[in-house]
Structure 1
Amino acid sequence: MDELPLISDRAYETVRLIAPELSRVIVKEVFQQEKPFYCEEYPNVRFHLPYDIVVQRKSEFGKFYWNGKVTPHGPHHDSWYQCPINCINIWIAIGSVKIGNGLNIYPQVYGKRLPCTKDGKILSNQYFSSIINFELKPGDALIFHGEHLHSSEINSTDATRYVVSLRMTLEKPQFLEQSPYKDNYIYHHPNNELKARLTELLKGISRRLRKQINSALGKQENQNYIISELAREKFDDASANFPKPIPLKTGEKISLDETKLVFDSSDLPIGTIRPISQKMCVARLKNHQVVAFSRYCPHEEADLAGGHLRDGCIICPWHNLPLSLENGSSPCQSLSPLTIWKCIEDSDKVEIQS
């Protein structure tokens, strides 16, 4: 792990050198395009170490620089980080990608641009429903739009996940606002004809001269790598579908310390999750099997009321982490377990035994 920064730097340089030719092949053979395109100058190289290893160096790998490279990236749109709104992601597996260390895609919010905090994190009240993820063999690739909400799985396996992420646009890059990356997308042409190569060369010279002139004139580039508050005001909102708190039965004596919570059985159909308080959720796994559990994921405090159920687990909506509803544990041994409370269902009501 001590050698990771050096390995990462060398991998970035190697990928930067091969990216132009690789992108030409992708544009020509995959997208069947003969028109000019723009490719990110520095593609991302992502070594996702097992979380239980990363957490041992949390102070180092918790820095923004490593977010998405070594540590899992929460649900996001690439434009939150000043990338073009028309970029395409080519996510290439260099090693095997397994369920438990892959990429999450959120199909239910496709076409929406959800809001984020000032430090580029998803708002906790946003609901995006189901998650799709994939197992890949070395050489496989996922191709998706950068504005399609996506995230990293927390690496709950014992293997490092190694991928290269190449961003490109099939026309001139478009940004939500003045971006520090506006000159980082390089003009290319899919064919190798002399005219195309000459145009690439001239465009490259023009880009470098522009940067040098701006520097000489003292023009400061925007160094804000997170989208501004003004731009965020125009984003969509997916909070309306977030599960609403389950109503507590009236007439029951309910103490403020939540030692007795009672609700109607009919308010919790099979397969649903509902918040019941600021600290607790309830879920019905099947008929006459209701479980209560602590509301927030022990990893980054995602609201589990927005998660889903799978194989007896609550699945974190941000990083696809399964947490057992039997004992609260997860595959990541370094994470604290959820608190689980027993529920007793009697006739038409459920009582949480806390």
Structure 2
Amino acid sequence: MSRTSTIGMTEIARRAGVSQKTVSRVVNAEPNVSDDVRRRVQAVIEEVGYRPNHAARALVTRRTRRIGLVTTGGARFGPSAIVEGVQEAARARGYHTSVARPADETVAGLRAAVEDLLSQGVEGLALSESVDLGHPSIRIPPTVPVVTFDDPPSGARSAEMIVAAGEADGARSATEHLLALGHTTVHHVSGPDNWNASGRRAEGWRAALEAAGRHAPAPESGGWDPASGHDAVRRLLDRGETPTALFVANDQMAIGAIHALERAGLSVPDDVSVVGFDDVPEAAYLSTPLTTVRQDFDAITARAVEVLLDAVEGGHPAKHQSVPTRLVVRESTAPPRT
């Protein structure tokens, strides 16, 4: 039998000069342990290679210290940032995260993902994208708190707790920035019609134009990827419209949009100013650094995990919280040609 399998909490407590209860608090990432004691106990744990038996502990405490995350966004920047942020924030609170990715975005796919996570004994659920939790085939026990990063579809029942970015406000600030530069109106490349985020970003764009008394051109719809942004701008140009300012619903589509403009002989920002959304890591390092709306995914996921785990542990967190966005101005926007 190996050394790591024979040394338990009692021996760790003896070596660290603390009580077994203190070792248990360190292992479970509980409060009321000084930093010095926590470091001392952790050093012994690492020295002996101790690994807690989570299955046995769950049988005794009826706690798994595990949350579930459902995400349908694949490798897209926003959803992947949410997955990473949730895992890190949960780990800091002593919880593990199980991630389920439905085979498709149908109700059946979502139901299967939720049931898979519930079968693992998760104590709370986080939903990367909003869904109708009122659908009769999706059964989540009332004892399992749910947080989502998105407002629900119109008329649908949402999670009890929502932590979301101020996307409409961010889109409005992007549009106002372009108008303040002197552009008479702003064209828009939206996200897919079936995403709530697309609607909120279009809502902010339209609200800014209406408040300024400007015409809102018909938007072109994309699919979050560069190719769809490229194609959306090609359609716009093919019907004879040449914008001087373009707000694109995410940075990946903005990259494709800029490529289409340049292939058509137009310069960014001299002929067309472009603003994206998300502030992906590469946005600052394009040949023309991209002006964009930054979502603070670290803050969003940390807040969401905090409210979810507070609910899991018997607290009563605020039901709806918004995390502000911020416009990051770079070189892809400028006043229009006179």
Same fold (TM over 0.5): no
Determine which structure has the larger strand proportion and give its number.
Answer: 1
TM-score by length of 1: 0.24
Which one has the bigger helix percentage?
A: 2
Structure having greater relative contact order (Cα 8 Å, sep ≥ 6):
1
Provide the TM-score with structure 2 as the length reference: 0.25
